[in-house]
């Protein structure tokens, strides 16, 4: 059974999927598809179409509907359509001979959503086995760790959570409702202040990814004038960037969320690590911090975080951030959740610790709380 396990990590922007038995490999996860569908307006049945890429999605008729909002599935019909496309069209599943799934759970997934997800997998996709695990836990598994603090910079949110011996410490976890999509909008606002408008969302996102960087400190970002640099966008438009890149980096660490009591990322990390009663666990979390997700590769991010965490910690504690093991693929931190799932699945399914079809038939969707606590 361990040979036919598909590992699934669904986010706000993309859904990552791949075969566990192929890992470690530079080619996995082999599927990174948009977490959105096209809804056919003329269809009375509300038919939806999934696509393998944003480019393919743009060519389909209808209007785009996202399936997730800040870590929560918001359109279950669209989500089911994407999974059907991934599993049956891209992985070659056949009706009546489906494989098993390990699904990475976002932080704060509700009991109702866990049960609905379990029901969907067994009743609509007829999976032979299923296991759900927290994203933060899986990210640490990817680098061979059981205890630490995970900072996941995502498309629609930033999740910060500590893990102790493979168990998520929910009490100290924090979600900042600010992610890559908000940084893109922030860049648009900054450019508008200079009279520059970029109408194409894809080009604006590309520009953000090219220019964003984190300065050594906040004062340097605010006071030091940046050397202008001109970028030619995918749509052909030329845009000159000055200090917008460093301002984006500051927004990444200190989200400009109006009317909300939102801590900075360093403060949220410190609170997550020190929420443990055991001083030994506090120390272990501060000395094993992992930055992952789509925003983990921003230039200057790790040195700045290390500097700010050092300032927050007492002299007896030396904060440390994890580095990528030499035997792991280069994109480990970007896809750490999926990779941790691939590693865990080889243990879970071989030792029969997953939810079986028999157990689901006996207990129903609530079995997920017993087997995937």
Q: 349 and 270 in one domain?
A: no
CATH code assigned at 184: 3.90.640.10
Examine the domain organization and report whether 30 and 119 are in the same domain.
yes
Task: Determine contact, residues 38/133, Cβ cutoff 8 Å.
Answer: no
Q: Are residues 299 and 161 in the same domain?
A: yes
Same domain, 225 and 300: no
Query: What does the pLDDT read at residue 345?
Result: 95
pLDDT of residue 312: 95
One domain, residues 156 and 207: no
Q: Using alpha carbons, select from 101, 244, 304, 272 the residue that is nearest to residue 176.
A: 272
Domain containing 196: what range? 180-253
What are the tens digits of pLDDT across the range 291-333? Answer: 999 999 999 999 999 999 999 999 988 999 998 877 777 788 9
Q: Are residues 196 and 170 in the same domain?
A: no
Residue 134, in any domain of the structure: yes
- The answer as to whether 45 is a domain residue is no
On whether both 267 and 299 belong to a single domain, the answer is yes
Give the pLDDT of residue 28.
78
Q: List the CATH number of the domain containing 120.
A: 3.30.420.40
3-state secondary structure of 215: coil
What pLDDT sits at residue 286?
Answer: 96
Looking at the domain assignment, is residue 258 inside a domain? no
Please give the pLDDT value at position 46.
46
Q: Are 286 and 149 in contact (CB under 8 A)?
A: yes
Q: How many Cβ atoms from other residues are within 10 Å of residue 356's Cβ?
A: 18
Q: How many structural domains are present in the chain?
A: 3
Final residue in a domain of this structure, among 253, 271, 295: 253
Would you mind telling me the total number of residues written for the chain in this entry?
Answer: 373
User: Which DSSP category does 4 fall into?
Assistant: G
Q: Are residues 198 and 160 in the same domain?
A: no
- Structural domain includes residue 131: yes
293 lies in the same domain as 336? no
The pLDDT of residue 300 is: 95
Mark the ranges of the chain whose per-residue pLDDT is less than 50. 43-46, 51, 57
Q: Which residues contact 165 (CB under 8 A, 6 or more apart)?
A: 146, 147
Per-residue exposure over 307-342, b if at least 16 CB sit within 10 Å of its own CB, e if not = ebbeebbeeebebebbeeeeebbebbbbbbbbbbbb
User: What's the confidence (pLDDT) of residue 2?
Assistant: 57
159 and 283 together in one domain? yes
At residue 65, the pLDDT reads: 82
On whether residue 48 sits in a domain, the answer given is no
pLDDT at position 44 = 42
pLDDT number for residue 59: 55
- Note whether 272 and 204 are same-domain residues: no
Q: Do residue 224 and residue 292 come from a single domain?
A: no
Does the residue 317 lie in any domain? no
């Amino acid at each position: 059974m361990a040979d036919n396990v598909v590992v699934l990590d669904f986010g706000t922007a993309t859904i990552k999927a791949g075969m566990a038995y192929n890992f470690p490999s530079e080619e996995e996860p082999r599927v990174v598809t948009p977490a959105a569908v096209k809804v056919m307006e003329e269809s009375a049945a509300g038919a939806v179409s999934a696509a393998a890429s944003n480019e393919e999605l743009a060519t389909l008729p209808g209007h785009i509907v996202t399936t997730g909002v800040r870590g929560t599935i918001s359109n279950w019909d669209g989500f089911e359509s994407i999974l059907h496309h991934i599993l049956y069209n891209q992985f070659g599943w056949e009706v009546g001979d489906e494989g098993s799934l390990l699904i990475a759970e976002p932080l704060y997934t509700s009991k109702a959503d866990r049960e609905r997800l379990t029901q969907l997998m067994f009743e609509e996709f007829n999976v032979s086995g299923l296991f759900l695990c927290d994203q933060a836990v899986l990210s640490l598994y990817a680098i061979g760790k059981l205890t630490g603090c995970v900072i996941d910079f995502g498309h629609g949110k930033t999740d910060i959570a500590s893990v102790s011996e493979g168990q998520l410490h929910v009490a100290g976890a924090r979600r900042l409702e600010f992610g890559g999509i908000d940084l893109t909008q922030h860049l648009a606002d900054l450019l508008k202040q200079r009279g520059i408008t970029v109408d194409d969302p894809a080009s604006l996102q590309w520009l953000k990814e090219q220019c964003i960087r984190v300065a050594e400190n906040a004062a340097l970002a605010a006071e030091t004038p940046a050397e202008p640099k001109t970028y030619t966008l995918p749509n052909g438009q030329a845009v000159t960037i000055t200090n917008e890149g460093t301002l984006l980096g500051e927004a990444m660490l200190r989200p400009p969320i109006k009317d909300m009591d939102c801590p900075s990322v360093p403060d949220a990390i410190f609170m997550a690590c020190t929420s443990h009663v055991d001083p030994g666990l506090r120390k272990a979390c501060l000395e094993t911090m992992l930055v992952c997700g789509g925003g983990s590769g921003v230039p200057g991010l790790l040195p700045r975080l290390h500097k700010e965490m050092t300032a927050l910690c007492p002299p007896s504690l030396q904060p440390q951030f994890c580095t990528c093991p030499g035997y792991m693929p280069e994109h480990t931190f970007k896809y750490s959740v999926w990779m941790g799932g691939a590693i865990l699945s080889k243990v879970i399914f071989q030792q029969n610790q997953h939810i079986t079809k028999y157990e689901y038939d006996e207990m129903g969707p609530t079995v997920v709380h017993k087997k995937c606590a």
